[in-house]
Amino acid sequence: MCGIVAAIAQRDVADILIYGLQRLEYRGYDSAGLAVIDQNAHLNTLKRQGKVATLADLVATEQPRGGTGIAHTRWATHGEANETNAHPHISQDRIAMVHNGIIENYKSLKETLSGQGFAFKSQTDTEVFTHLIASHLQNQSSLLEAVKQAKQQVTGAYGTVIIDKENPDTIVAARSGSPLVIGLGLGENFVASDQLALLAVTRRFIFLEEGDFAEITRHKVSVFDVDGNPVEREVVEVNASQDTNSKGQYRHYMLKEIFEQPTSIRNTLEGRVTTDGLVDGIFGQGFEQMLKGVNHVQIVACGTSYHAGLVARYWLEQYGHVSCNVEIASEFRYRHFHTVPGSLLVTISQSGETADTLAALRLAQQRDYLSSIVICNVDGSSLVRESDYAFMTNAGAEIGVASTKAFTTQLTSLLMLTLAVGKAKGLAEDKQSLITHALLGLPAKLEQALTLDSHISDLAEDFIEKDHALFLGRGDQFPIALEGALKLKEISYIHAEGYAAGELKHGPIALIDADMPVIVVAPNNELLEKLHSNIEEVRARGGVFYIFADQDAHFESDETCHVIDVVSTDALTAPIVYTLPLQLLSYYVAVIKGTDVDQPRNLAKSVTVE
């Protein structure tokens, strides 16, 4: 959620820090700050409420000098979003700290530290951690030792970097529950919460593991494991292109990412599916063999990824011949569940750092699951490293906070997983071939779905005065209705609900009137006739419809019913195809309403706190 960037170099680092924060800003963005130590061992701290651009302006004016620095973009958990609560936090005018995560026992620590004479300026849990380190620094020989002591007293989660003006040649980083990566340069080194922040300065990274802490100088990186033993961590060369971070010709990242979907899905399929079916071994060594013992699939995810899981349940039950349960990670992790023998755990996360999903994985690892696989977009992330198997969605960096291409590539990956499960469970050849051809035909269908762009942008005008909207679907389109509603809420701030169309008359139909637009996803599938009846029930009560329908579904437009013809598509991939027009609808409503499309209020891209 929050972003961390740190650097130790001979040159001035303020611009590197700002550049890194800008790359991370999509994750959290209520305030930002940096601290650098200059040649005279003076600690210069600059903070601003609001976006990184306001901090960048301040840095351009102040031009802070110094080769050792830390920076942060915040998404507040403790204390409102203002300049005082922004990081870095300072203790004794000596050490400065940036922190991602939550210190759960901050209240009791604060009491003890107050008793020792430490004064608190902010409302944050982070400042408590900062003073705690300073309290140990009084008796310890080095910042590293002080951090080591303080670490033992805190509970909760942190990714943190600390600098000490009395020892400006060293920075200390520690990770527990919140990711950190060290970037290796020539005579200079860096730390960040995501390698994306450092691609301008290096492509060589060390991903800290859970519990690791590190001492970093310009020429040396020393990593220690959770018990304090020195460890060697692998150096990974990252090949990512920086161009993925540019908006190109598009007004917003979100629009760019919507239009990238045919290409992203080609990348998801590339080298993995041919007309003969799935390429052997694409899920990892021994996966196909392991699937033979799977009787049940438990999917765990949050938000949009959870919706992808809900769609996959329909596929896995129909074609994988296994029972399947899907649950929100924050509920799963605290439920007293029983493990069905032969269960495969499937987690889904764009970032691979979603705190609740990661906790669910760790819990399942103690509970007799046969195996685990993550469907993920970020290689090297915690979920990828800690799962038995990882399947990368290959969507490319997704910058818009509201997920688009990550969702559809997750769905594509889950359909490939369904095919693998089906194969292992003896799915008939003709059914396997049906899935294969549906997958291969998908990018072309998506290109056609995107031609609805201008039609949908015209329709979006109808929504700007509305306060509420209902999205309806049946079967595997029910989760698409949920996702359509979530997208509209996230970026246009219009209250929206997704419902299974058959459920409407059990309550929500009471809401129907001419001011409540009803958006229906109606591909030509086995439930179309049932959906027709549900629509008539709403029509009889004065509802106004926007029906996204297959060209052959025989819906006719009139004054209360707007039919949007979507390219005719097979029932199997229809959930993916129908997602795109709904994304476009939310996007254009938000643009007309003038909201911050790529960075909607209160949201963060990667939810690394519980």
The residue ranges that bind ligand HGA (CB under 6 A) are: 1-2, 28, 74-79, 99-102, 124-126, 608-609
CA 13/CA 36 separation, integer angstroms: 8
CB of 178 to ligand HGA, least distance (A): 7
The verdict on whether 561 is a catalytic residue reads no
CB of 83 to ligand HGA, least distance (A): 12
Query: What is the phi/psi pair of residue 374, to 5°?
Result: -110, 140
CB of 52 to ligand HGA, least distance (A): 15
The verdict on whether 220 is a catalytic residue reads no
List, in order, residues 6 or more apart from 153 with CB less than 8 Å away.
Answer: 105, 109, 132
Q: Read off the tokens for 566.
A: 């979507």
Q: Read off the tokens for 354.
A: 């979603």
Cα 512 to the center of its chain, rounded Å:
34
The strand pairing partners of 5, in sequence order, are 71, 192
Of 171, 193, 14, the C-alpha closest to 96 is 171
CB of 158 to ligand HGA, least distance (A): 8
Q: Considering the complex, state which of residue 99 and residue 148 has its C-beta at the smaller distance from ligand HGA.
A: 99
CA 424/CA 427 separation, integer angstroms: 8
Of 361, 312, 305, 365, the C-alpha closest to 333 is 361
CB of 118 to ligand HGA, least distance (A): 17
User: What DSSP letter does each residue of 161-205 carry, written as one string?
Assistant: EEEETTSTT-EEEEEEBS--EEEE-SS-EEEESSGGGGTTT-SEE
CA 422/CA 301 separation, integer angstroms: 22
CB of 47 to ligand HGA, least distance (A): 12
Q: Considering the complex, state which of residue 89 and residue 165 has its C-beta at the smaller distance from ligand HGA.
A: 89
CB of 373 within 8 A of CB of 390?
Answer: yes
Q: Considering the complex, state which of residue 155 and residue 274 has its C-beta at the smaller distance from ligand HGA.
A: 155
Q: Considering the complex, state which of residue 48 and residue 74 has its C-beta at the smaller distance from ligand HGA.
A: 74
Q: Considering the complex, state which of residue 79 and residue 211 has its C-beta at the smaller distance from ligand HGA.
A: 79
CA 20/CA 99 separation, integer angstroms: 16
Largest interatomic CA distance in the chain: 79
Burial grade of 593 (CB within 10 A; 0-12, 13-18, 19 or more): middle
Q: Considering the complex, state which of residue 15 and residue 210 has its C-beta at the smaller distance from ligand HGA.
A: 210
**Alpha carbon of 434 to those of 266, 406, 416, 529: distances in Å?**
18, 24, 12, 23
CA 333/CA 103 separation, integer angstroms: 20
CA 300/CA 331 separation, integer angstroms: 9
Active site residue: 2, 302, 324, 376, which one?
A: 2
CA 187/CA 134 separation, integer angstroms: 28
CA 219/CA 47 separation, integer angstroms: 29
CB of 151 within 8 A of CB of 140?
Answer: no
The β-bridge relationship of strands 495-500 and 468-473 is parallel
Q: Considering the complex, state which of residue 99 and residue 136 has its C-beta at the smaller distance from ligand HGA.
A: 99
Q: Considering the complex, state which of residue 123 and residue 263 has its C-beta at the smaller distance from ligand HGA.
A: 123
Q: Which residues are catalytic?
A: 2, 605
